[in-house]
Amino acid sequence: MTAHPLLVAPSILAADFGHLEADIRKVIAAGADWLHLDIMDGQFVDNISFGPAIVKLVRSLTTLPLDTHLIIQRPDHYVPRFAEAGANSITVHVEAEAKHEVAGTLRLIREQGCRAGLTLNPATPFELVEPHLPEIDLLLIMTVHPGFGGQSFRPETMAKVQRACELRESLGANYEIEVDGGINPETAAIARANGANVLVAGTSIFHAPDYATAIRELKTSAV
Ligand code: DX5
Ligand code: ZN
pLDDT, tens only, 144-171? 999 999 999 999 999 999 999 999 999 9
For the stretch 172-182, pLDDT in tens is 999 999 999 99
| pLDDT for the residue 221 | 83
Q: Report whether residue 38 contacts ligand 1, using a CB cutoff of 6 Å.
A: yes
Structure confidence at residue 112 (pLDDT): 98
- Portion of the chain with pLDDT greater than 70, in percent: 98
What is the distance between the alpha carbons of residues 106 and 183, in angstroms, rounded to a whole number?
A: 26
Q: How far apart are CA 181 and CA 149, in angstroms?
A: 7
Mutation to probe ligand 1, out of 71, 142, 144 (largest number of atoms < 8 A from CB): 144
In contact, 173 and 164? CB cutoff 8 Å? no
The closest residue, in CA terms, to atom 2 on ligand 1 is 146
Longest Cα separation, the chain: 47
Residue 1 has pLDDT above 60, yes or no: no
Give the amino acid at 160. K
Inform me whether the pLDDT recorded for 53 exceeds 80. Answer: yes
pLDDT at residue number 2: 66
Residue 222 clears pLDDT 80, i.e. is over it: no
Q: Rounded to an integer, what distance in angstroms lies between the CA atom of residue 111 and that of residue 9?
A: 24
Mean pLDDT (the chain) is 97
Long-range contacts of 203-210 (CB under 8 A, 24+ apart): 203/14, 203/149, 203/150, 205/8, 205/10, 205/11, 205/14, 205/27, 205/30, 206/10, 206/11, 206/12, 206/14, 206/15, 206/16, 206/23, 206/27, 207/14, 210/30
- Strand pairing partners for 141? 120, 179
Residue with the smallest CA separation from ligand 1 atom 10 is 149
Residue 201's DSSP bridge partners are: 10
CA 13 to ligand 1: nearest atom: 9
| Selected residue with higher pLDDT from 223 and 218 | 218
pLDDT of residue 177: 98
Is the per-residue pLDDT at 126 higher than 70? yes
53 and 84 in contact (C-beta within 8 Å)? no
CA distance between the termini of the chain:
20
pLDDT category at 223 given cuts 50, 70, 90 is: low
39: pLDDT strictly greater than 70: yes
- Please tell me the pTM assigned to this model: 0.98
Q: Is 183 in the pocket of ligand 1 (CB under 6 A)?
A: yes
Secondary structure of residue 179 in the 3-state scheme = strand
Which of 49, 6, 82, 38 minimizes the C-alpha distance to 181? Answer: 38
User: Using the 8-state DSSP alphabet, how is residue 151 labeled?
Assistant: P
pLDDT category at 213 given cuts 50, 70, 90 is: very high
Q: How far is the CA of 182 from the centre of ligand 1 (A)?
A: 7
What tens digit of pLDDT does each residue of 85-121 get?
Answer: 999 999 999 999 999 999 999 999 999 999 999 999 9
Residue 55 pLDDT:
98
100 secondary structure, DSSP code? S
- Does position 41 have pLDDT exceeding 80, yes or no? yes
